[in-house]
Amino acid sequence: MAPDTRDFIVDGEKPSFIGARVYYADGSVSRLTLTSKPPKSEGVQALVAFSDRTFRRWIDGHWVMENYRLVLHGEDYYWYDGRDFGATKNYVEIPPTAYVMYGYLIDWQDHKRIARTAEGDRMW
């Protein structure tokens, strides 16, 4: 089974997810709330789902607040169903009521650059 937020646990509880950012092959990024649809559904390279839970982290001499998040990349399909987010290579794993976005094959170095940018995205 591919990764998704249905199994995401923080301190023994399943947090709520408040939205996501979607990273596309053309370098654009869109913000996705639980009630919105992304401007594009094709060319997705990464999706960062943000939890409503936050934590403090010491960076460069001061405390920074970050959201717990799940970074998904390198998949063929990305989805959300109004509550959870996920990604998979197998279409049948997607919940039947989910909105589906499609991945796009690009040069590996370009994908890694986009994935690194997504992994650095820490605050909703």
Confidence of residue 68 (pLDDT cuts 50, 70, 90): confident
pLDDT at residue 1 is higher than 60: no
**What integer pLDDT is reported at residue 27 of this predicted model?**
92
Going by C-alpha positions, the residue among 108, 112, 106 that lies closest to residue 42 is: 106
Going by C-alpha positions, the residue among 50, 45, 46 that lies closest to residue 17 is: 50
Q: What percent of the chain has pLDDT over 90?
A: 50
Per residue in 84-106, pLDDT tens? 899 999 999 999 999 999 998 99
